[in-house]
Amino acid sequence: LLYERHGEAAAVVQLKDLEVPKLGDCDVHVKMLAAPINPADINMIQGTYPILSPLPAVGGNEGVGEVLEVGHRVTALKPGDWVIPANAGLGTWRTRGVFPEEMLLKVPSDIPVLCAATLSVNPCTAFRLLADFESLVPGDSVIQNAANSGVGQAVIQIARASGIKTINVVRDRPDLPKLVERLMALGADHIVTEEMLRKPEMKDIFKSIPRPRLALNCVGGKSTTEMLRHLQPKGTMVTYGGMAKQPVMVPVSAFIFRDVRLRGFWITQWRKDHVQDQESVAAMMDALCQLIRGGQLTAPACTEVPLQDYRAALEASMKPFVSSKQILLL
């Protein structure tokens, strides 16, 4: 799926037949199996993301493929192995590709294909958010907004497996009871709407669990300010997205009297910073694959779409209140 100019995804992305390039000595020929449509993919096509691929570009930053053939200097991969992108910008919305070996990470092929296809962005982001900013111990709590997003669903499950309680903020919607049921089934401890953040009932939650030391924000605007009120003194709020396209507003008192910390996180930058530290990357991937094998981490709610129906999938991924991730089957 190729785009030659930036613009609205459904308008500029086209399905094209291209020749598969020749296999170089250090290259790997991959048959792509499945690739999701993420908000960052859409932003790259629109031309609004901090990293952009040179045009014409193939869409998609995430997915899983099977190795068909390797160049004779490739040592870490062999035919039959499953691989995911090592970095953003690979262009995963394609049936076949030839990539340099260092652009791929091997993953176990005994995990479900949809888990592998959605492994490198959301679960990795969730893992780092929970690990890198506060040293959380069993019994601690975190609060997060957009709890039904891909990252939100992964945070709930990873926290649950570590004995950490989650307070999950979602937007009010027509099918709220259904969403609540689904997030509870993933292991959410408490689910509140953005409106409830201001209500006295929030105090009831903190009778049974401590106030959170960590808040995870991917929305911005008013709901973020409200979420911050519930953070413990000296707690940290990490912003990793801005779905509301509104700034984060913080009362001065939160800084002076509660000494809260505001941080940011971008998984693409984390990967760049850890290029020389493959041990950290491998440890994270191992931990996530173990959770998947143990049934403690599942793929986000997905809608599987054949490649030729890509336009409908792109349009569906832009609709509000959609908790289901569109996955292209290649």
How far is the C-alpha of 59 from the C-alpha of 45, rounded, in Å?
7
Cβ contacts of 168 within 8 Å, gap of 6 or more = 143, 144, 147, 152, 156, 183, 188, 189, 190, 191, 192
Q: Phi/psi class of residue 65: alpha, beta or left (left: φ > 0; alpha: ψ in -120 to 50)?
A: beta
Phi, psi of 98 (to 5 degrees): -115, 120
Is the backbone peptide bond immediately before 56 cis, with ω within 30 degrees of 0?
A: yes
In the annotation, is 49 catalytic? yes
Quick one: tokens of 298?
């599942």
CA triplet 204, 155, 142: central angle to 5 degrees?
A: 35
Residue with tokens 């062999």: 78
> What is the greatest pairwise CA distance in the chain?
66
The three-class DSSP label of residue 47 is coil
**Which residue has tokens 């809260």?**
260
Closest-CA residue to 110 (of 89, 76, 82, 77): 82
| Helices within 64-200 (DSSP H only) | 113-117, 122-132, 150-161, 176-186
Question: Strands, E, within 206-324: which ranges?
Answer: 214-217, 236-239, 261-264, 302-306
In whole angstroms, give the CA distance from residue 281 to residue 292: 17
Catalytic residue among 3, 49, 240, 310: 49
Q: Tell me which residue of 214, 210, 204 sits closest to 139, measured CA to CA.
A: 210
Interhelix angle 122-132/278-293, nearest 10 degrees: 110
Residues that are catalytic: 49
